[in-house]
């Protein structure tokens, strides 16, 4: 498991529309990168938002489906009701309470885009910018420099996110960042998966069997802000240590909307690459395994996906897909008992996530 240099994987690129920056008026051609391996798996990523726009995977009968939600054209990703489909999220994934934080005695005010709170980097997070890129073999390295003060965050932050598909059906995502001033960093990917196919909707989602390698989760208030308490999953609906069919538990989550919770994977440490989650769709035989070095994963069952038309005319809405966003725990800057989310000059933020796909006969 890891980053493979495998000659059977091919990489191609082409144009995927034109983006006109609303702030500068400058137009840029967006590039689409397509990986294919010898197992019939293909992956597409664009440099707008460093966004995964397609993952095509055979089922146990050889039928290939795109198992991620998204759009057929760039215009879809630019519309206001795009719920971060496939995007790279930053500077800080998840929520920051009251859109403010104090660092080294100074108070920083962020944009509020989730009620009074800041969500997924603010009004114009990393998902809404054009990333530079370069190709290195079968890797694509996307690079973005977030200027000092952008969305209220201190320091000029340089981030590189490397994508690669292996011949073992692994999508390897390697995040690295450095900063000129003390700041906050918590990057993730926001792909929405439905192993039954991106058009199968809630009926397909409910048949998924989910396991998450976590013995605790972060308790939150009604706005999704952590209280600081870590709750054991034992004897609760959040106990997914044993594989559990979503149909049997999704309506028992206290919010009544489904899962949107951070699960504590590494008991607060970030050492080593470990098993995070396994999700299986028995009818198709498709399986997703997630590995990461991060202390948490946000498991989200698409509770707030707006009703809309996605790829190939497919209808999306509530519970059309799920997300597994590897991350530092949300709102960590406000909780001393949470993992560190502060990056200082001279340090490197590093985060590796692997999405591995299998097919069971």
- Residues involved in catalysis: 190, 325
Quick check: 332 and 16 in contact, CB under 8 A? no
The answer to whether 260 is a known ligand-binding residue is yes
Quick check: 180 and 155 in contact, CB under 8 A? yes
Quick check: 277 and 259 in contact, CB under 8 A? no
The answer to whether 190 is a known ligand-binding residue is yes
The answer to whether 349 is a known ligand-binding residue is no
194: tokens are 């439905």
Q: How far apart are CA 54 and CA 62, in angstroms?
A: 18
**Geometric angle at alpha carbon 20, from 32 and 159, rounded to 5°:** 60
The answer to whether 350 is a known ligand-binding residue is no
Q: How far is CA 186 from the centre of its chain?
A: 11
CA terminus-to-terminus distance, the chain: 22
Quick check: 292 and 351 in contact, CB under 8 A? yes
The answer to whether 355 is a known ligand-binding residue is no
- Report which of 62, 64, 35 is spatially closest to residue 312, judged by C-alpha positions: 64
The answer to whether 192 is a known ligand-binding residue is yes
3-state secondary structure of 88: strand
Known binding-site residues for beta-D-galactose equal 94-95, 190-192, 260
Annotated binding site: 94-95, 190-192, 260
């Amino acid at each position: 498991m890891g980053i493979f240099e495998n000659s059977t994987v091919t990489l191609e690129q082409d144009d995927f529309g034109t983006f006109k920056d609303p702030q500068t008026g400058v137009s840029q051609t967006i590039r689409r990168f397509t990986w294919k391996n010898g197992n019939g798996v293909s992956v597409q990523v664009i440099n707008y938002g460093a966004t995964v726009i397609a993952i095509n995977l055979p089922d146990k009968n050889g039928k290939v489906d795109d198992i991620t939600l998204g759009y057929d054209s760039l215009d879809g990703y630019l519309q206001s009701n795009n719920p971060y489909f496939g995007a790279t999220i930053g500077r800080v994934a998840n929520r920051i309470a009251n859109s403010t934080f104090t660092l080294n005695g100074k108070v920083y005010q962020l944009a509020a885009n989730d009620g009074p709170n800041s969500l997924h980097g603010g009004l114009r997070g990393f998902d809404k910018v054009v990333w530079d890129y370069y190709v290195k073999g079968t890797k694509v390295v996307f690079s973005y420099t977030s200027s000092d003060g952008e969305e209220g965050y201190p320091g000029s932050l340089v981030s590189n996110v490397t994508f690669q598909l292996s011949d073992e059906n692994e999508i390897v995502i390697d995040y690295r960042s450095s900063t000129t001033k003390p700041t906050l960093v918590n990057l993730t990917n926001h792909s929405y998966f439905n192993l039954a196919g991106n058009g199968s909707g809630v009926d397909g989602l409910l048949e998924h069997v989910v396991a998450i390698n976590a013995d605790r989760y972060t308790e939150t208030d009604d706005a999704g802000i952590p209280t600081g308490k870590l709750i054991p999953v034992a004897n609760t609906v959040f106990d997914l240590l044993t594989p559990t069919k979503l149909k049997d538990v999704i309506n028992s989550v206290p919010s009544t909307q489904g899962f949107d919770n951070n699960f504590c994977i590494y008991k607060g440490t970030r050492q080593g690459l470990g098993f995070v989650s396994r999700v299986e769709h028995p009818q198709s035989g498709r399986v997703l395994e997630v590995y990461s070095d991060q202390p948490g994963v946000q498991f989200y069952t698409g509770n707030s996906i707006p009703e809309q038309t996605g790829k190939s005319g497919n209808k999306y809405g509530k519970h059309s897909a799920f997300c597994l966003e590897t991350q530092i725990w949300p709102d960590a800057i406000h909780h001393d008992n949470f993992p560190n989310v502060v990056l200082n000059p001279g340090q490197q933020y590093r985060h590796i996530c692997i999405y591995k796909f299998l097919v069971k006969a």
